[in-house]
Amino acid sequence: MKKSKMLSMLGVVVLVVVLFSGSALAVAPVTLKTPDQDNLPGHPVVLLLENTSGSDVTIEPPTHAKVSIPAVGRDYNWEPLDPAWLAFEGTKVLAPGDEVEIATIPSGPDWRNFFTNPRGPMPIWKEEYLVKVKIKVNGTELETNEATHTKLPLPDPEAGQIYHSWSEFLGDNRDGTGTFEATELKDGAGKVMTGLGKDDFIVSGEHLVNPPVPLGTIIGVIETSPGNYKIIWHHEDGNYNGMLDLWVRERPVGLGFQKVSISSSPGSRVVQEYTSGKFLDFCEGKVRMSVNTTEGSFALVADLYHEDKKKASPGLIPANIYLNLSRSENIDGDTIRVEVDYDPEELPEGVDAASLKLFRYNEKTASWEEVDNQGVNLDENYIWMEIDSFSTYGVFVEAEEAVTEKLPATGSRALMWMLPLGLLLCLAGAFLIKRRTREQVW
């Protein structure tokens, strides 16, 4: 008897518990889904909700979300969803079988602050992770099922999910730019990608974020051969240290270039939106350059100095004006006019301004070679040249030209005095000889 009463009482308790917790144990009339994102890293998590009941349901936007990664023992707390991430406001009615997007959670640096830092990259977990949300359905707040979201591995070039390329950061150009190289660039079908320009490439400063977040400016792209490119990248303040990703047409071709360093020299200048033929000032206005080019952006460097860094070739008198010029590769071969000021008062003794000439230093022969197309503007005190290759240049005067005006003048004055003096000496000598002869006769 006692046993039957105890069983009856236990049955009542169980019934009460079931009735009390029925809302928690009840099957939710909706199912949360998180579709697998594509193979590009850094995509956000899209949350979908499907009405899996047999009747209409009314839903409100989700309020919280929770993430766990069982395979690595990570179970995070409920976090509030940012209103900016929600797909709708108010209420929405779903008919049986309807599916609707309820929120999109941006990627974050790691799962601890996934919900509070939307700008960083999503970690690449090979394991599946689970996510669930709190949402009101028909006026009652429910916790949804744990939806499985599989984070796929890095893009597979062979499957056409990424453009194939061997990419490398070639180095710092020391003019506020750096050069990347993308070789054997092919699309998903294996076709060589030709004819790409500046608008096709992106350098991203946020690692593994898609879509990429551009950093700096690509000022030039050189296709060295079909499918092989050099990309000249400029950072706005002329200096950069950090990690970069390289993208082409919104697909990554070079991820995680570490220890990228860009620097600029005092005479460097990166030009954008350039009009061909316009003069640019360098070295406090003492050097001017204009470029005959179709490129709108490029880098130029001009270093003006007065020390004799290169030993002058025999027969040349230095004017103590030297110029080291360099430029970005995308304007290699373009004609550039260079004008260099000189001060007539500061020219070395024996150097005539009209005889000034520009010479290019040949590193192979360690000698100076005269520039072909050049001249001197004596009215405005500058020497100019037109060149299509950059190097170290110096201003000299050929020795024979430097003395042509002064040597003849000095020689003529000497002759003017020596001839009369010689004649007087001859007359005096003749007079003395004649007088001695007369004295002997007497």
Q: What is the CATH number of the domain that holds 329?
A: 2.60.220.50
Strand 99-105: give its sheet, edge to edge.
Answer: 30-33, 45-51, 99-105
Block residue for tokens 């004596």: 378
Q: How far is the C-alpha of 240 from the C-alpha of 262, rounded, in Å?
A: 5
Query: What does the pLDDT average to over 389-412?
Result: 66
Q: What is the pLDDT of residue 166?
A: 80
Q: What is the pLDDT of residue 421?
A: 57
Query: What does the pLDDT average to over 378-407?
Result: 81
The verdict on residue 20 lying in a domain is no
* Whether residues 320 and 371 fall in one domain: yes
Q: What is the pLDDT of residue 401?
A: 59
- Please give the distance of CA 203 from its chain centroid, rounded to a whole number: 7
Q: Whole domain around residue 361: which residue ranges?
A: 268-403
Q: Do residues 254 and 167 touch, judged by C-beta distance below 8 A?
A: yes
* Whether residues 81 and 192 fall in one domain: no
From 101, 120, 150, give the residue that closes a domain: 150
* Whether residues 272 and 396 fall in one domain: yes
* Whether residues 328 and 386 fall in one domain: yes
* Whether residues 193 and 171 fall in one domain: yes
The verdict on residue 430 lying in a domain is no
* Whether residues 274 and 369 fall in one domain: yes
Which run of H or of E encompasses 436?
A: helix 406-441
The verdict on residue 425 lying in a domain is no
Q: Could you read off the pLDDT of 245-261 as tens digits, one per residue? A: 899 987 888 777 777 88
Query: Is the per-residue pLDDT at 441 higher than 50?
Result: no
The verdict on residue 102 lying in a domain is yes
Strand 382-387: give its sheet, edge to edge.
Answer: 279-282, 287-292, 335-341, 382-387, 374-377
Most confidently predicted of 301-305, 334-338, 395-399, 431-435: 334-338
| pLDDT band per the 50, 70, 90 thresholds, residue 57 | very high
Q: What is the pLDDT of residue 159?
A: 55
Query: What does the pLDDT average to over 177-183?
Result: 92
* Whether residues 339 and 382 fall in one domain: yes
| pLDDT band per the 50, 70, 90 thresholds, residue 244 | confident
The verdict on residue 322 lying in a domain is yes
The verdict on residue 50 lying in a domain is yes
Query: Is the per-residue pLDDT at 151 higher than 80?
Result: no
The verdict on residue 58 lying in a domain is yes
From 223, 246, 262, give the residue that closes a domain: 262
Query: Is the per-residue pLDDT at 18 higher than 90?
Result: no
For the record, the structure tokens of 311 come out as 């030993």
Query: Is the per-residue pLDDT at 37 higher than 60?
Result: no
What percent of the chain clears pLDDT 70, i.e. is strictly above it? Answer: 73
* Whether residues 171 and 216 fall in one domain: yes
| Alpha helices, DSSP H, located in 255-392 | none
Q: Give the SS3 label for residue 26.
A: coil
Q: What is the pLDDT of residue 303?
A: 92
Q: Beta-carbon neighbour count of residue 360 at 10 Å?
A: 19
Q: How far is the C-alpha of 55 from the C-alpha of 34, rounded, in Å?
A: 23
How many domains are there within the chain?
Answer: 3
Query: Is the per-residue pLDDT at 184 higher than 70?
Result: yes
Q: What is the CATH number of the domain that holds 163?
A: 2.60.40
The verdict on residue 242 lying in a domain is yes
* Whether residues 378 and 284 fall in one domain: yes
428 phi and psi, to 5 degrees? -65, -40
* Whether residues 294 and 387 fall in one domain: yes
Q: Do residues 286 and 304 touch, judged by C-beta distance below 8 A?
A: yes
Q: Do residues 47 and 64 touch, judged by C-beta distance below 8 A?
A: no
Least confident range from 141-155, 210-224, 238-252: namely 141-155
Q: Beta-carbon neighbour count of residue 383 at 10 Å?
A: 23
Mean pLDDT, the chain, whole residue set: 79
* Whether residues 340 and 358 fall in one domain: yes
Least confident range from 95-109, 173-187, 413-427: namely 413-427
* Whether residues 346 and 395 fall in one domain: yes
